[in-house]
Amino acid sequence: MDESLLPFFRPAGIVVVGASTSASKLGYGIARNLTTSGYAGAIHFVSQGAGELFGRTIHTRLARVPDPVDLAVLVIPAHSMPAGIRDCAARGIRAAIIISAGFREAGTEGAALEETCRELARATGLRLLGPNCIGIIDTHLPLDTSFLQPPMPPRGGIAFISHSGAFCAAIVDWSRRQGFGFSQIVSLGNQVDVSEVEVLSAVAEDRHTRVIVLYMEGVSDGVRFVRAAREVSRAKPIVAIKVGRSESGQRAASSHTAAMAGSDLAFDAAFARCGIMRAATTEQLFDWARALEDSPLPAGPRVAVLTNAGGPGVIAADALETQGMRLAALDDSTRRLLTARLPAAASVDNPVDMLASASPEDYASCLDALLKDTGVDAALVILPPPPMHSAESVAAAIIPIIRVSSKPAVVALLGSDLTEAAFEAFCAAHVPTYPFPERAATALAALFRRATYLGALSQETAGRPFDVVAPASDSTAELMAAYGIHVIGLRLATSPQEAATISRELGFPLVMKIASPAILHKSDVGGILLDVKDAESAASGYTHLLEAALAARPDAHLDGVHLQRQITGGQEVILGALRDPQFGALVMFGSGGVEAEALKDVAFALAPIDAAEADDLMRRTWAGRRLDGFRGIAPVDKSAARDALMRLSWLAFEHPEIDQVEINPLRVLPAGAFALDVRRSP
């Protein structure tokens, strides 16, 4: 851990500046929580009025606070904060949590005040968390610098880092009835100094933390964040919810790539690169975290479903398939064990339906058999209120089996009052439990994604896996060639006669395209001619293309016409790369040609990518899956497309001066792949 952050997480002494004897004030709540949290270090209070608070002396000046004190909690008016920071630095305090609001979130004056605080922090070496935050809670230390209503959340293995203080407060209260606890909670606020990057690395070192949950509204430094998160996620899983999915902040598009690369897609790509699992909802966020905290990881996606009711079993089967999991094919020996145990009317197919009469012993023996089946990677147990037994008795029977298994098992506990005691038993035993099969299925899928990510780490390749030749010029085509991307050359004609001459030199058939930086989508203005078979057609085609372009775009500057050998057959895809302002180079793959914007069938990844990442990128699109052939569409050279994609990603990564570069289309043939149209910016 960065030594400058130690006072936040392991303080020797804490002072609350702005403590209050009035129970309606935040300064009172912070003093109360700090005192009752069980924190074993020194606790001091500073306020304008002398007296006592919770049996401790209230000092009227920070300078009079005795040692030890290395962390201050500042709950004073925003306009007094610069003076408070100076006082902390003069006292030798190394870190401060600014609880107070009224800074950047309050408008221009607040933003200026926040900048003053930032400059003071840099000048004095004082580290600041906040402002506009609720502070830090550590249930194991223990420590509570927040003003939230007591009690502290129960102890657990989930660390929660949040940009929103209000969201922290709501989650803490909600979690008390959900059966899970926290190791640490850190509210970041406006991040005037300490950022999510630093806190993420610090929290990861906590021995009680088994999984890290993030609520994110943005990122302070995308490149640093990816580097830190990638390192952390090797050891501990990270689950995040990133709000602000709209494309309203998308940059103006000058290519297909930029048009389809909203800032939210950049977060998706960054999260995928560093192993962060992105949840779509708050329930999902903590459903996954609970499973990751307490469960072993599955070896594969094969799931056995055990139920006493057919309907919920079908719901589970559908949900698992939707999540990319699948029902396990049970071994014959497992089916025989189930048949011997269950009534004749029961189903020993997967999902296994034991019928409503299933006893606790039935649940236990059947679950044991399923988890011991070598074709089963995980189990989903569905438990509605049994008509002849208590749900609690079923829980008592299966908990020992789940806890000793090397395979994950989650429970969908349906109902409410009749299953309350069972829920408490499962939570006490750290068995992930959900109210419906769909949520249990997403939790199992999260476990499998984590296992898949860790498995992929061992296959990573370090460095660029190919050599680059120095380009003959700074043209886009030459740069592509230097990285081993095969480009079908373009020749520019500026007259009908020159078009005829060039056509004879290139050979036939030819493609002719209008050459104009102002016309991005050539087909929209009739700016492309295919299957040009002779020099006369090339000359007349030149005149035709210019006339069509001028009719559609009379204001456009026309450079002439490009001629190119026509490559037929195969499939067309688009490859692109652009520089995201937060995360750096992104690479794109998807449906190309005229389909590019119509289908928006694209996927993005953080550059550079290796072969496995390129395969994953292609697999996420219809264009990539189609390369293997589909019905009347013949398969093509997928390895050539993968190679071009990897090479383009390295080109973009190693040339930060390039804002955007695009190949549309890349023609993928039965043998090889060729770039037919390339452009870059700048």
Distance CA 586, CA 566 (A): 30
The DSSP element (H or E) to which 504 belongs, if any, is helix 496-506
Q: How much is the pLDDT for 253?
A: 33
CATH topology of domain 297-457: Rossmann fold (3.40.50)
Pairwise CA distance, residues 505 & 486, whole Å = 20
Mean pLDDT calculated for residue range 256-270? 69
Strand pairing of 155-162 and 182-187?
parallel
CB proximity list for 53: less than 8 A, separation 6 or greater = 19, 20, 21, 28, 31, 45, 47
| pLDDT attached to residue 462 | 73
Give dist(CA 528, CA 549) in Å, integer: 10
Q: ∠ CA 97-103-104 to the nearest 5 degrees?
A: 115
Which one, of 296, 200, 300, lies nearest residue 240 by Cα?
200
DSSP, collapsed to helix, strand or coil, labels residue 379 as: strand
CA-based max dimension of the chain? 101
Residue 597 has pLDDT above 90, yes or no: no
Residue 271 above 80 pLDDT? yes
Digit-coded pLDDT (tens) for 512-532: 999 998 887 788 899 999 999
State whether residue 532 is helix, strand or coil.
Answer: strand
Residue 301 near residue 324, CB atoms below 8 Å: yes
SS3 state at 12: coil
Question: Does residue 93 contact residue 126 with C-beta atoms inside 8 Å?
Answer: yes
Overall average pLDDT of the 204-217 stretch: 96
Query: Does the pLDDT of residue 252 top 60, yes or no?
Result: no
235-244, 372-381, 413-422, 586-595, range with the lowest pLDDT: 586-595
Looking at per-residue confidence, does 682 or 362 come out higher?
A: 362
Beta partners for residue 575, in sequence order:
589, 663
Which pTM does this prediction carry?
0.90
> What's the pLDDT score for residue 162?
96
Q: Which helix (H) or strand (E) holds 35?
A: helix 26-36
Domain boundaries, the chain: 3-209, 297-457, 489-565, 571-681
Q: Give mean pLDDT, residues 285-304.
A: 97
Query: At which residue do the structure tokens 């003959």 appear?
Result: 472
Mean pLDDT within 238-253: 65
Classify residue 66 as left (phi > 0), alpha (psi -120 to 50) or beta.
Answer: beta
The proportion of the chain whose per-residue pLDDT surpasses 90, expressed as a percent, equals 86
CA-to-CA distance for 238 and 340, rounded, in angstroms? 43
What mean pLDDT do residues 561-570 have?
94
Per-residue pLDDT at 498 exceeds 50: yes
Looking from the CA of 43 toward its CB, the CA atoms found within 13 Å total: 20
Task: At 289, list the tokens.
Answer: 């975290």
Residue 501 scores a pLDDT above 90: yes
Residue 260 has pLDDT above 70, yes or no: no
> Torsion angle, CA of 229/230/234/238, rounded to 10 degrees?
40
Rounded CA separation 525/522 (Å)? 6
Say whether pLDDT at 258 is over 70. no
What pLDDT score was predicted for residue 250?
Answer: 38
Alpha-carbon span 454 to 459, nearest angstrom: 10
pLDDT at 299: 97
> How does residue 590 score in pLDDT terms, banded at 50, 70 and 90?
very high
Look at 69-83, 455-469, 565-579 and tell me which has the smallest mean pLDDT: 455-469
The radius of gyration computed from the CA coordinates of the chain, to the nearest angstrom, equals 31
DSSP 347: B
- CA 125 centroid distance within chain: 33
pLDDT at residue number 598: 65
Is residue 188 within 8 A of residue 134, CB to CB? The reply is no
Confidence (pLDDT) at 224: 95
Same fold, 3-209 and 297-457: yes
* Residue indicated by tokens 């870059």: 680
Other C-beta atoms closer than 10 Å to the C-beta of 553 total 17
* pLDDT greater than 70 at residue 125: yes
pLDDT digits (tens, 9 = 90+) for 8-49: 999 999 999 999 999 999 999 999 999 999 999 999 999 999
Q: What is the topology classification, in CATH, of domain 489-565?
A: Dna Ligase; domain 1 (3.30.1490)
What is the pLDDT, as a whole number, of residue 263?
74
> Residue 505 contacts by C-beta under 8 Å, 6 or more apart in sequence?
491
Is the pLDDT score of 109 beyond 50?
A: yes
Residue 255 has pLDDT above 80, yes or no: no
Residue-averaged pLDDT of the chain: 93
Determine the average pLDDT of the residues in 163-180: 91
CB 447 within 8 A of CB 378: yes
Identify the architecture of domain 571-681 in CATH.
2-Layer Sandwich (3.30)
Residue 673: enclosing H or E segment and its boundaries?
strand 673-675
pLDDT tier, 246 (very low <50, low <70, confident <90, very high otherwise):
low
| Percentage of the residues of the chain whose pLDDT score is greater than 70 | 96
**Average of per-residue pLDDT across 342-352:** 96
Alpha carbon 26 to its chain centroid, in Å, reads 34
- Closest to 134 in 3D by CA, of 82, 189, 85: 189
Instruction: Grade residue 257 by pLDDT with cuts at 50, 70 and 90.
Output: very low
- The 8 Å CB, 24+ separation contacts for 1-6 are 1/201, 1/202, 1/205, 2/198, 2/201, 2/202, 4/94, 4/95, 4/125, 4/127, 5/95, 5/127, 5/194, 5/198, 5/199, 5/202
Q: Looking at this protein, which amino acid is placed at residue 171?
A: I
CA distances from 31 to 21, 85, 88 (A): 9, 19, 18
Q: What is the pLDDT of residues 73-100, one digit of tens each?
A: 999 999 999 999 999 999 999 999 999 9
* pLDDT, position 520: 78
User: Does the pLDDT value for residue 595 go beyond 80?
Assistant: no
pLDDT, position 256: 44
User: Which pLDDT value is given to residue 398?
Assistant: 98
Distances (CA, A) of 332 to 275, 301, 352, 444: 37, 20, 14, 25
Closest CA to 480 of 674, 259, 641, 672: 674
Confidence check: pLDDT of 338 > 90: yes
pLDDT at 56 over 70: yes
- State the Cα–Cα distance between residues 345 and 373, nearest whole angstrom: 22
d(CA 220, CA 296): 33
Q: What average pLDDT score do residues 538-559 get?
A: 95
- Dihedral angle, C-alpha 230, 231, 232, 233, nearest 10 °: 50
Euclidean distance between the first and the last CA atom of the chain, given in angstroms as a whole number? 41
Token reading at 122: 């840099």
Q: What span, in angstroms and rounded, lies between the C-alpha atoms of 143 and 278?
A: 29
DSSP for 140-168 reads TTTEE-S-PPSSPPPEEEEEEEES-HHHH
pLDDT band at 593, cuts 50/70/90? low
What pLDDT sits at residue 521? 79
Query: In terms of DSSP H, where are the helices of 516-632?
Result: 535-552, 595-599, 611-619, 622-626
Say how far apart CA 378 and CA 300 lie, in whole Å.
Answer: 8
Residue 629 scores a pLDDT above 50: yes
Which pLDDT value is given to residue 473? 83
DSSP assignment string, 291-328: HHHH-PPPSSSEEEEEESSHHHHHHHHHHHHHTT-EE-
Residues 6+ apart with CB under 8 A from 6: none
Cβ atoms 86, 120 nearer than 8 A: yes
- Are the CB atoms for 164 and 147 separated by under 8 Å? no
CATH superfamily for domain 3-209:
NAD(P)-binding Rossmann-like Domain (3.40.50.720)
Residue with tokens 């996927």: 603
Collapsing DSSP to helix, strand or coil, 453 comes out as helix
Give 102's Cβ-side CA count (13 Å radius).
12
Judged by DSSP in three states, 395 sits in helix
**What's the token pair of residue 83?**
């003076």
pLDDT at 293: 97
DSSP state of 414: -
